[in-house]
């Protein structure tokens, strides 16, 4: 609790009504890389409790839509342009929903997916890479040509394998650690623009 009180992003998130301090990571990614624009359809994988979806909702505006996907329940939002889906992100129901209910191409896929952390660096970074790979294969099913993709990874021995997996899929790829990332965290994000 005392750690949270000292954390400026925790306080800022509370003041602004964001559900997670991680909202600021997405704001910082957006400011630096302009991954979303007004009117976009954004799919947010691993969205609970909803901090990233709130930020994406602001950037896409009332003509845009955010589909917030998590296997955990997500509390209802005040933002009318966010649709919540309680699903495993690999479920075929996600593709069905996008094809049959939304009926438009996806402009941006975000993945802040995370599992339980064991404390073993190699194991955790491999698990995170596996989630990033799953997010990429899910994204490739519905991301439009020239669409953007952002995924969380942990710095670790096998990051190169994932980089090889994505390098021919996007025109622009960059690793970045937003300033709002906790100093003690191994996480960073891979920002991929313009799906080929």
Ligand X SMILES: C[S@@+](CC[C@H](N)C(=O)[O-])C[C@H]1O[C@@H](n2cnc3c(N)ncnc32)[C@H](O)[C@@H]1O
> Considering only residues 95-134, where is the footprint of ligand X by CB under 6 A?
112-115
70 touching ligand X, by CB under 6 A: yes
Contact string (CB under 6 A) for ligand X, positions 6-25, x = contact = -------------xx-xx--
d(CA 172, CA 195): 9
Q: Is 152 a catalytic residue?
A: yes
Contact string (CB under 6 A) for ligand X, positions 24-63, x = contact = ----------------------xxxxxxx-----------
The string over 165-179, giving b where at least 16 C-beta atoms fall within 10 Å of a residue's C-beta and e elsewhere, is ebeebbeeeeebebe
Per-position DSSP letters for 160-175, written without gaps between them: HHHHHHHTTTEEEEEE
Among the listed residues 96, 189, 172, 186, the one whose alpha carbon sits nearest the alpha carbon of residue 135: 189
Nearer to ligand X, 88 or 171 (CB): 88
Active site residues: 152
**Sites of contact with ligand X (CB under 6 A):** 19-20, 22-23, 46-52, 69-72, 88-89, 112-115
């Amino acid at each position: 609790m005392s750690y949270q009180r000292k954390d400026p992003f925790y306080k800022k998130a509370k003041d602004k009504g964001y559900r997670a301090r991680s909202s600021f990571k997405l704001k910082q990614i957006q400011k630096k890389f302009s991954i979303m624009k007004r009117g976009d359809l954004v799919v947010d994988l691993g969205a609970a409790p909803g901090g990233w979806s709130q930020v994406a909702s602001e950037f896409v505006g009332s003509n845009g839509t955010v589909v917030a996907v998590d296997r955990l329940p997500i509390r209802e939002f005040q933002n009318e342009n966010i649709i919540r889906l309680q699903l495993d992100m690999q479920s075929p129901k996600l593709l069905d929903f996008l094809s049959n209910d939304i009926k438009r191409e996806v402009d941006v896929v975000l993945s802040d997916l995370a599992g339980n952390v064991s404390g073993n660096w190699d194991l955790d970074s491999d698990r995170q890479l596996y989630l990033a790979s799953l997010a990429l294969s899910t994204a490739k099913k519905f991301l439009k040509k020239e669409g953007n993709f952002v995924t969380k990874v942990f710095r670790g021995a096998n990051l190169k394998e994932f980089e090889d997996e994505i390098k021919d899929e996007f025109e622009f790829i960059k690793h970045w650690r937003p300033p709002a990332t906790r100093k003690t965290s191994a996480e960073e994000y891979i920002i991929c623009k313009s799906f080929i």
